[in-house]
Amino acid sequence: MWTLPYGAWPSPVDAALATAHDGHPEYVGFVGDEAWWTEPRPTEGGRRTLVRRRADGTEEPVLPAPWNVRSRVIEYGGHPWAGVLTETGPLVVFVNFADQRRAGAG
């Protein structure tokens, strides 16, 4: 056994491995009978996208890059998106991280 200074020991976990597994789905909610949530995209600069799971079990991202569903309000417990089911389908509003403005998709 050997002694090394704090933080100097060898580790199989490096920064690339840690960022490749950036978090987990968050801010789960329902729009009609579908589950929706934000999901990290570490290979896209840490962007968070909105994903939906349809009643038949298929999953699909709702917003392509560069949309980033993340709000500074999250730091205080806020939810970065909200959705409702309308007669024509889902209507979702979200905060785009780049400018902190709200946007809508439907």
- The structure's pTM equals 0.72
Q: How many other C-beta atoms can be found within 10 angstroms of the C-beta atom of residue 15?
A: 7
Q: pLDDT tens-digit profile of 16-57? A: 766 666 668 889 999 999 999 999 888 888 889 999 999 999
User: How far apart are the C-alpha atoms of 85 and 88, rounded to whole Å?
Assistant: 8
CB-CB contact of 51 with 37 (8 Å): yes
Query: DSSP E strands: which ranges in 1-106?
Result: 26-31, 34-41, 47-53, 59-61, 81-86, 89-96, 101-105
